[in-house]
Amino acid sequence: MIKIEKEYIKIILLGSFSSLLATNFFQPLINFFGNMVFRISSIFLKDYNNILYQRIALRDYNLEIFIYLYLFYFSIAAILFVTIYFFSSMRNILHTINNTEKELKEFDEDPKENHFNADDIQQKMVELRKNIVANKKETKKLIFGGKIISIVYILIFLIIGLFNYSTEMAIKRKIDEYENTKRIISPYISEYKEKSFESKFVLIKNEEDYIILRNEMNEVLLEYGLMLIWK
């Protein structure tokens, strides 16, 4: 009963710690990466940057579920490949080790049955022991290599997932900033002006169009002493 209670406590503590990280660390990290995507692409990848702003105009902020599914299936395939390769190699190595140990044991039990002289037997036993040591070293290398491959692949998967999720959230955030700003200023502007802002938003083609529209709407906020939320 005490063990069960301890397990529950561990689960609660782990859940609380995970929630704390998600609340205070993960979201700011996502925001940071999303902003970096827009900043870096505006300098080095202008065409991609234009596509991002055109997606904002289209209100296209889905989380690319098909990309995540593709990455998931690709991950499963890669993991299966590594696993099959790893266990196949391990099986061959262990098979060699078992045969070598069996042969060595036969020499140890009754070396005369093998019809070799003493020198040949001694040399053969030395070779067999060397084979065992070499195969054990190869096994350790294989295990270490498998760990490195797994860690690298997991990191790549996490980075790609973080990049995609951060980009989608940044697009959604910029759309929300426009929508919220429009709601704030709508009582202070004419219907024609409101429709004009919406038209300009839909026609955004690049970062320059986006900044021009943001500045125009922020001027209305400043004019009426309202809080700036679109920065």
Per-residue pLDDT tens digits for 29-48: 888 989 999 999 999 999 99
Cβ-count burial of 166 within 10 angstroms (0-12 exposed, 13-18 middle, 19+ buried)?
buried
The tens digit of pLDDT for each residue in 166-223 reads: 888 899 999 999 999 999 999 999 999 999 999 999 999 999 999 999 999 999 999 9
Percent of residues, the chain, with pLDDT higher than 70: 55
Least confident of 18-22, 134-138, 174-178, 222-226: 18-22
Q: From CA 20, how far away is CA 74, in angstroms rounded?
A: 31
Cβ-count burial of 93 within 10 angstroms (0-12 exposed, 13-18 middle, 19+ buried)?
middle
Q: What are the residue ranges spanned by the domains of the chain?
A: 2-223
Residue 59 has what DSSP assignment? Answer: T
Least confident of 90-99, 161-170, 200-209: 90-99
Least confident of 108-122, 145-159, 208-222: 108-122
Residue partners of 215: CB distance under 8 A and separation at least 6: none
Q: Look over the chain and give the mean of its residue pLDDT values, rounded to a whole number.
A: 77
